[in-house]
Amino acid sequence: MLTLKSPAKINLFLKIVGKRPDGFHELASLFQAISLTDTIHYSLHDSDQLTCNDPGIPLDGSNLILKAADLFRRKTGLKFGLKAHLEKNIPYQSGLGGGSGNAATTLWALNKLLNYNATVKQLTEWSGDIGSDISFFFSQGTAYCTGRGEIVQSLPPLPSQTMWIVKPPLGLSTPAVYKQVNLQNLQKRDPEKCLANFFLGQSEYFNDLEIPAFAVMPELVKLKNHLLEIGFQNVVLTGSGSGFYCFGDANPRDIPDVSCHQVTYLNRQPDNWY
């Protein structure tokens, strides 16, 4: 039996660079893992078996834990079944990459349980086959991601900050948000410069998916404004939403009907998972 934490991520900035012929969007984004985590218990078994404490999570082949097990079988040629129990804590459809983190954690777990010794580079490359955000988790928790998000440049840890994750009750569908992107309406920014500035302490937090997400769920504008009014300095949508990360000296706990988590950045050591 192996028990691992499966972290969430935020996008400290997310720039949409263009639209590709395959329908995906070309991104340039600074990703950071955070201390909001699921826990997953793994063991080898004669067939795949997934359980979860949260009845809202699909347990069929659409779950990224089972997709990751299939991917590992395909890439390695090994035959095995995986028993996994997921303790879900990261809100889903929130842009926090919870499902993607679960997939990355599963690939890491299988590599250990089966003593396969795939390299981090292999795991990173393989994971791009089943989703855009999974590869990031094979960095050590801070990375600049380009392409669909699956091309990962690992970076040294940034000074950690305490922040709040705030999510309204309804989630957002990633494809629905991307459908609203209008390339003409995006602010012109050079992502390489944004990245360099971050490491000079001149952070500019932004997300080009905010306006598209607001088009799908207009009530998000009200929530963002409210979070700014109660004293947060920066309130930015993470991924395709509907979660926000908030920096500053305020407390969102009194806002009705939202889930709130106080978190910090999370980085891992090269040989250990998060």
Catalytic residues: 9, 133
CA distance to 61, 95, 237, 245, per residue, from 234 (Å)? 38, 17, 10, 8
Q: Quick check: 7 binds ligand C5P (CB under 6 A)? A: no
Parallel, antiparallel, or unpaired: how do β-strands 206-207 and 2-19 relate? parallel
3-class secondary-structure state, position 220: helix
Q: Residue 73 and residue 55: Cα distance in Å, rounded? A: 27
Q: Quick check: 133 binds ligand C5P (CB under 6 A)? A: yes
Q: Residue 214 and residue 235: Cα distance in Å, rounded? A: 14
166: CB partners within 8 A, 6+ apart: 223, 227, 243, 244, 245, 246, 252, 255, 258, 259, 260
The tokens for 150 are: 């699956």
Q: Which of 4, 8, 10, 27 binds ligand C5P (CB under 6 A)?
A: 27
Q: x/- string (CB under 6 A) for ligand C5P, residues 181-200?
A: --------------------
Q: Quick check: 24 binds ligand C5P (CB under 6 A)? A: yes
Q: x/- string (CB under 6 A) for ligand C5P, residues 113-132?
A: ------------------xx
- CB 70 → ligand C5P: shortest distance, Å? 15
Interacting positions 140-169 with ligand C5P (CB under 6 A): 148-149
Q: Which of 21, 56, 159, 175 binds ligand C5P (CB under 6 A)?
A: 175
For ligand C5P, the binding residues (CB under 6 A) are 24-25, 27, 131-133, 148-149, 174-175, 178
